[in-house]
Structure 1
Amino acid sequence: MPVKIAPKDIKLGYAIKLPVGWMKHPFLTNKLVVESLQQIRIIQSLELDYVYFYPERSSVVADTAMNTMDSPMAQNIDDLQRRTEMQQDKEQRIEQAKAHRRELQKTEKAFAQSMAQVRNLMTKVQGRPLNAIEDASQLISNLADTILSEDALVLHLISQAGKEQESMYFHVLNVSILAMMLAKNLNYSADEVKWTGLGAMFHDIGKLKIPSQILRKTTALSAPELNFLKLHPKLGLDLLGLTQQFPAQAKAIVEQHHEYLDGSGYPAALKAGQINKLARIVAVVNEFDNLCHPLDMSQARSPHHALSLMYKTMKGKLGDLEMKVMIKMMGIYPPGTVVLLSDKRVGIVMAVNSDSMLYPDVLIYDADVPRLEAAIVTLAANKLSVEKVVKPKALPPEVFAYLNPRAQVSYFVQQKN
């Protein structure tokens, strides 16, 4: 528990918190560990009545005498110059954060538009399948053009919880984007990337023919219910058979996305050499997204732990190369991962730059800042690093609510500026 102390009593090594608004001091955060005599003097120049002191986080450095070889006037000039530099640096970082938020808002707007298209085409597929496929082809083509760009990509976390009945739409858009990225990273052709996206968009279309009470059941399915659910690849093919416009290469994905390399999948218990290579891609991505968004959300895995679990438990069932490339593509800290930073702050990964995987963009928890105004920092630019991954269940309730790691984990891509 913190205690109040006068600024004159601050010593090197003290962990403190400044009891003023973030904009009323030049430091990057209200909380800091005092590392220099100059920091102490700058804090004292703020004319605060007290600061909060955290004994358990402090390690007092022996001699903290304030006298130096410099004259008081020279010291004051040096302190003022340093305080001005800190304030300018802080204002620059605020502007960078605002620009980052504008980019994120632009990405979220594009995501919302794509979601609206997915909703629309899913309502068309039974009555007007040709129109639905044309709409999907255009959507996939636009997304593929971004993904196939030679520019580096930024993979964004879109923390927008959808309505329960729309979970399928979020799922198919997630799987389509990640599957196309995986196909690109496996060096497949532009046509193959687009077929992968189209097949992924319709991979669960057969579920439209499955009763909702089966799809939404959170307890174990009975044998007849499970057998009915396992029909959805065939039911999907039947729906797509209403038109001749759906490419055969993408149909294999709809038919085989639940097949496993060891023959334990369904509906045909195919083995490795019999499974279409694009279906293998979608099988990996589909498994990942289902681990992040199970029907029983209390069993949901963070993206980081979902990838780890897949690699440990699905060997022999999912393609080893596809899983390895997926892990490399998503980064060590995929969007949606909760992390402890080198400065001991906690945050959630919001975006991963494909050319700087170890230094993602992280939304920082700060009890003094409203979540909608929370800082999103680029680790490399701020000389920060990830110290470790934190399990969401280990977070204090207020931090969990702030970071909201169990929100709908959706992804969207944009070219890196």
Structure 2
Amino acid sequence: MIKRISTEDLKPGMFVSSFDLSWFKHPFVSTRLGVVRDQGLINELKKLGISHVEIDTDLCTADEARPSPEIRPGKAARERLQPCPSEGDPERSARFARKLFDHAMTATRSLMDSVRAGKPVRTEEFQPLVARLVDAVNHNENVLHIILSLKSFDDYTYTHSLNLAALGVLLGKSMNLEQADLERLGLAGILHDVGKCLVPREVIVKPGPLTEEEFNLVKAHPALAHGYLSRQNDIPGEVLRAVLEHHERLDGSGYPRGLADGAIHPYSSIISVVDVYDALTSDRVYRPRMSPHAALRLLFNQRGQTFPEAMVDTFIKRLGVYPSFSVVQLRNGCYAVVTRQTPGRPLFPEVMVFCDREHRPLVKRRLDTWRLCGELARKEYEIERPVEPGELPPPMLMGIA
């Protein structure tokens, strides 16, 4: 039996099934905290300003020191993610990004396993993750770029969902969306491809061209995901729309319903833009990835046709002509990785030089290309061209963002 009580009346041994506070404002993986084992947790809830909680009286235990094994909360329920560090601490930012990435991979694998087994999706497990992504886009965007750079070294199946959550939040913030919208976009990014778990794996990972029948199976994954997730009552309708419509296109050429223009939800359009960008810049079984610059150019060529023009323009402006962690070659022949955008100067980002024209390693040094090329007229430090990953993959420079 669920009963709502004051936090003042909460005692060790009671089973907290829920409390009313936005996931962005609390550090727990779930609002279902389980059995309260000590006064410390109660004090923390009070410190967060939580005045009431819901308890499950059937799961409360009389023995406060030893909650029964079958109702003892799992480790994930008490797991905490630290607050996002400041932008001025690059080493801590890198460590935080790696930890957040590892947490996301664990949660996403659990998500996919649950769907394959026909179990309900525990959306509360993703709430702290999404909250930290929103926090990063508000206070330390370098964390997002570091996370995105890690996708080359882990399984695309899982990193793609995290990347879409990060990029969706980034684009949503650039469009001046509210906090709640950013949280829903992050969740939509995590959930958008769960329908692929319901399609035969040999079709999803097939390295060659798909037959018409196989392509139809793949095209069913948005509807399969929507049908599966709709059976739960804790997933916002806008998120379900994004899951269903992320392959719809402005000109009606998409699937599964062939929607066009105004019939497509804005969340769906945001997820579709970042979905294409991340797919193009990732290695797939049937083709190598392309550079971020080339992927943005392809999106630019489709603006106003398959994707909303203003949305694509905003996305390109936010990422920059040469996105962070992409490789470029300077006019002097040296290769560098982009480390930071220069506000208002999209052609002149900050870079880190790491090898010469013969690919021989150099002592890494940071360059402000705008200051060198603009103020000091050192044209040899201008960016000559973007470099495709197949020619020279980006180095792992996690500490220099």
TM-score bracket, shorter-length normalisation: 0.5 to 0.7
Q: Does 1:387 align with 2:376?
A: no
Identify unmatched segments of 5+ residues in structure 1. 1-98
CA distance in 2, matches of 1:140, 1:393: 29
SS in 1 for 2:206: coil
Cα shift at 1:392: 2.6
Which string of whole-angstrom CA distances, capped at 9 and with x for unpartnered residues, describes residues 126-167 of structure 1? 5585552111223212211322x2x4632335245345xx31
SS in 1 for 2:149: strand
Q: Are the structure 2 counterparts of residues 103 and 180 from structure 1 closer, same or farther at C-alpha, using a change threshold of 3 Å?
A: closer
Q: Are the structure 2 counterparts of residues 229 and 180 from structure 1 closer, same or farther at C-alpha, using a change threshold of 3 Å?
A: same
Contact persistence 1:140–1:198 (CA under 8 A): yes
Q: Which residue of 2 aligns with 1:153?
A: 141
Contact persistence 1:122–1:132 (CA under 8 A): no
Q: Does 1:196 align with 2:196?
A: no
One of 211, 224, 248 as aligned partner of 2:200: 211
The amino acid of 1:245's aligned partner reads: D
Q: Are the structure 2 counterparts of residues 356 and 218 from structure 1 closer, same or farther at C-alpha, using a change threshold of 3 Å?
A: same
Which string of whole-angstrom CA distances, capped at 9 and with x for unpartnered residues, describes residues 43-64 of structure 1? xxxxxxxxxxxxxxxxxxxxxx
CA distance in 2, matches of 1:258, 1:368: 43
Q: Which residue of 2 aligns with 1:111?
A: 101
The amino acid of 2:291's aligned partner reads: S
Contact persistence 2:112–2:197 (CA under 8 A): no
Which string of whole-angstrom CA distances, capped at 9 and with x for unpartnered residues, describes residues 211-268 of structure 1? 1111112222111101111000011012212311111111000000000011110000
CA distance in 1, matches of 2:122, 2:344: 36
CA distance in 2, matches of 1:394, 1:169: 22
Q: Which residue of 2 aligns with 1:73?
A: none
CA distance in 1, matches of 2:92, 2:371: 19
Contact persistence 2:291–2:389 (CA under 8 A): no
Q: Which residue of 2 aligns with 1:310?
A: 299
TM-score normalised per structure 1 = 0.64
Contact persistence 1:121–1:135 (CA under 8 A): no
One of 315, 332, 335 as aligned partner of 1:346: 335
Contact persistence 2:195–2:225 (CA under 8 A): yes
Contact persistence 2:165–2:190 (CA under 8 A): yes
Q: Are the structure 2 counterparts of residues 328 and 270 from structure 1 closer, same or farther at C-alpha, using a change threshold of 3 Å?
A: same
Identify the range of structure 1 (205-214 vs 306-315) with the bigger mean alpha-carbon deviation: 306-315
One of 237, 262, 276 as aligned partner of 1:287: 276
Which string of whole-angstrom CA distances, capped at 9 and with x for unpartnered residues, describes residues 162-219 of structure 1? 45xx311111111110111101111111111111111111111100011111111222
CA distance in 1, matches of 2:220, 2:384: 42
Contact persistence 1:339–1:348 (CA under 8 A): yes
CA distance in 2, matches of 1:352, 1:107: 19
Indicate the percent of aligned positions where both proteins have the same amino acid. 25
Cα shift at 1:391: 3.4
CA distance in 1, matches of 2:368, 2:286: 30
One of 269, 290, 297 as aligned partner of 1:301: 290
One of 159, 168, 175 as aligned partner of 1:170: 159
CA distance in 2, matches of 1:361, 1:180: 25
Q: Which residue of 2 aligns with 1:242?
A: 231
Contact persistence 2:115–2:197 (CA under 8 A): no
SS in 2 for 1:218: coil
Q: Which residue of 2 aligns with 1:88?
A: none
TM-score normalised per structure 2 = 0.66
Identify unmatched segments of 5+ residues in structure 2. 1-88, 374-380
CA distance in 1, matches of 2:95, 2:364: 14
CA distance in 2, matches of 1:103, 1:383: 27
The amino acid of 1:158's aligned partner reads: S
CA distance in 1, matches of 2:163, 2:178: 21
Q: Are the structure 2 counterparts of residues 248 and 326 from structure 1 closer, same or farther at C-alpha, using a change threshold of 3 Å?
A: same
Q: Are the structure 2 counterparts of residues 297 and 345 from structure 1 closer, same or farther at C-alpha, using a change threshold of 3 Å?
A: farther
One of 355, 371, 375 as aligned partner of 1:365: 355
Q: Does 1:320 align with 2:309?
A: yes
Q: Are the structure 2 counterparts of residues 252 and 353 from structure 1 closer, same or farther at C-alpha, using a change threshold of 3 Å?
A: farther
Bigger radius of gyration among the two: 1
Contact persistence 1:153–1:353 (CA under 8 A): no
